[in-house]
Amino acid sequence: MKNSFYLLIASFAVISACKTTKETSTTTTTNTTEVKADCGSAAYSYAADIKPIFNQNCNGCHGPVKLRGALDFTIDEVLYAQAKSGKLVCAIRQEKGCAAMPAYNPKLPDETIKKIECWVNSGMAQ
């Protein structure tokens, strides 16, 4: 009897833990990488800072010509959706759970990764 009481408490704890996780994941748009970049007061914009990085490093494979991974980053909605889902930062940081990018090329320099990450975390200004 005592055991089933503990079991009941334990299952309740598991259920509420799941509920909490679900709630936070639907309400937050920031990425969930373990270590966040220290962005300070840096403010980046898509047009001035991010687009040139993508044109140079990504859009040769992720554009209208080569639609690798079915992702065309010259379309803003596509890029923003990948950023919001956390896939973008995951890919350039080459973490587990996503494809390491840029494919077949050296990892982006730390400063560039940080720039993209800070842009994503600060709300992706145009």
Q: What single string gives the DSSP state of each residue in 75-100?
A: SHHHHHHHHHHTHHHHHHTT-TTS--
Q: Which among 80, 85, 82, 92 has a CA at the least distance from the CA of 117?
A: 92
Q: Fill in the per-residue mask, 45 to 64: x = in contact with ligand HEC (CB under 6 A), - = not in contact.
A: ------------xx-xxx--
**How far from chain centre, in Å, is Cα 106?**
19
**How far from chain centre, in Å, is Cα 83?**
5
39/51 with CB nearer ligand HEC: 51
64-103: which residues touch ligand HEC (CB under 6 A)? 68-69, 71, 82, 87-88, 91-92, 98-99, 101-103
Smallest gap from Cβ 98 to ligand HEC, in A, equals: 3
Q: What is the residue type of 33?
A: T
37 binds ligand HEC (CB under 6 A): no
- Please give the Cα distance from 56 to 106 (Å, whole number): 13
31 binds ligand HEC (CB under 6 A): no
Q: What is the binding site for ligand HEC (CB under 6 A)?
A: 57-58, 60-62, 68-69, 71, 82, 87-88, 91-92, 98-99, 101-105, 108
